[in-house]
Structure 1
Amino acid sequence: MSTKTQLFIIAAMAENHVIGLNNSLPWHLPDEWAHFRKVTAGKAFIMGRKSFEAPDALHSEYRNVIITSNPPAQPGPRVEYAKDISGAIALLSGETDVFVLGGASIFQQMLPLADRMYLTIVHTQAAGDAYFPAFDPGDWELQRSEFHDTDNDHAYSFSMNLYVRKQRE
């Protein structure tokens, strides 16, 4: 019996939907980063090439599928390439849980397919050049939300949210 692959989006966005500036995160939030690492540990990742090459990118110790139209001749260890979303999903069809790490275009394409979203809201209006797509809150049930206030290590407050897609009709 085969198990359906679950697709989980994981992202941090400002209140104005900014997720990046110059291929980097526009904030430094150690507790949010630790949450990201804990939730994604041992899981397969799908991401776009620019997200994979970002200086602050986290790569899976397990499997990374990079969506690009121009893959290198020699992929690195634990790295596979796909030309599009359907190819990436096909490569990971035997996996139980797959995390989608972005960027903006990948999030836009994967949003209709995602089963869950681990979406951190950074409580600021950030300058940026990459944005998380708008989504219909009616399609999602907020199952958990954890607020983190500002402190010596966190210049911005943030809320780590878990959304689960409501049953599709």
Structure 2
Amino acid sequence: MNSSQAAFSYAQPLQLTGMRVLPEHIDANGHMNVGFYNVIFDQALDRFFTPFDLDWAYVKRTNLSTFVLETHVCYLQEVVEGDELRFTLQLLGHDAKRIHYFMEMFHAQKGYLAATSEQILVHVDLATRKSCPFLPEHQKLFAAMYEGHSKLPKPPQAGRSIEMGKK
């Protein structure tokens, strides 16, 4: 993490563009297959983490990584081959070893919310395969990010559980 990122204001969720629905993401229904939503959210997270030195170079250099503990995806409107996507990331909580975040996937041109993914991940020492604290600079980053993001409205899909409901 460089000093300009440490001073960055987190008054809004992080933004990411430049991803697209690929032909291999499409299923027999002619839209992105359910499994690829998780894949593309994971790829977006990797891109969000790159400027904060939490990407694959960090894993190779430190032998530390992150594992997702839980995820909840809401599929709101379909996307199809060639659609450009835009993502946001809002930090909902953090401690020394974990972060809780919420991602949104938008159709980049039409602007509609296509899907959301709420996740909790844990920092892991790959040598022991056990959780461990984030490095101090990452803990400071998440504290600063949360300071800003905690003032934002909680996304309506965040914290939901799954059930059919009563009729």
Computing the radius of gyration from Cα coordinates, the structure with the larger value is 2
TM-score of the superposed pair, with normalisation by structure 2: 0.24
Between structures 1 and 2, the one with greater helix share: 2
